[in-house]
Structure 1
Amino acid sequence: MPVTAFLVEDNQVIRDNLIPTIESLSAARVAGIAETEEEAMAWLDAHDGHWDVAVVDLFLREGSGLNVVDRCRARLPHQRVVIFSNYATEEVRRRALLLGADAVFDKSTEIDGLLDFLEQLNSL
């Protein structure tokens, strides 16, 4: 059974490339997307317990990906949250992990790490 992913990303070009990459190179399917913090919160509320992994960008058109990560603290034990950002500095990684992120991946250098993470979720 595929991993159900929720993507929080405001850049259309990135979404248009990332979704087919995720779906063709990992065992995940993207079940929902959000461009803003508010949209992400609404999707999470409407789909509570019906997702396996949230892939969240930090800087959104409106709001912050870190607030989305913080909102996911009360997630179910099988659910995972990862940051996928161009700004994956050591400080961002530290803050994201403190807020409950399971992993942080740099968009420019760690796409393989994200895909491996998604693939590992399928084997759990």
Structure 2
Amino acid sequence: MIVASQVIPVFLIEDSRNMQSALAELFDVVGGFEIVATAATETAATAWLQRSQSDWGLAVVDLMLDEGTGFNLLQRLKTARPRAHVVVLSDFVTPAVETRCRAMGADAVFRKVDAQRFSAYLEQLSSGALDRE
């Protein structure tokens, strides 16, 4: 369970260093988040999940990675931490892609250009409004 007064650990799966930096800034502005790990490939993300005992509460996943895809990670992420929030943030979101992502375990799906909606989601998550019982 995520408690509003706690910092939410973030596992960021994104291949663009510029986007990683932009998201780090956004997490700082919103407050209440700390990036505990990043991965730019499906293999690196899977390896981190397998070896890490880290307690992450939010995974942010890009669908198109340097190697592999975020699609293949969604179910692994949900299996690894069923109570954590898994969010897709990608340039390649269509209604069909969103439906597929949600079916695979994503709690929310955003296009990268929807920064305002993603930021509002983070604010809700940070405030505890999206806590899981």
Structure 1 segment 61-72 matched on structure 2, within 5 A: 61-72=66-77
Note if contact 1:22-1:29 (Cα within 8 Å) is conserved in structure 2: yes
**% identity of equivalent residues:** 34
Note if contact 1:49-1:75 (Cα within 8 Å) is conserved in structure 2: no
Structure 2 CA distance for partners of 1:60 and 1:41, relative to 1, 3 Å: same
| Match of residue 97 from structure 2 | 92
TM-score, normalisation: structure 1: 0.90
The offset of 1:48, in angstroms, is 4.4
Moved segments of 4+, more than 6 Å:
none
> Which residue identity lines up with residue 114 of structure 1 in the other structure?
F
Unaligned stretches of 5+ residues in structure 1: none
Larger radius of gyration: 2
Unaligned stretches of 5+ residues in structure 2: 1-5
Residues 1:7 and 2:12 aligned together = yes
How many correspondences in the alignment?
123
CA distance in 2, matches of 1:78, 1:118: 16
TM-score, normalisation: structure 2: 0.84
The alignment's C-alpha RMSD in Å is 1.5
Structure 2 counterpart SS, 1:6:
strand
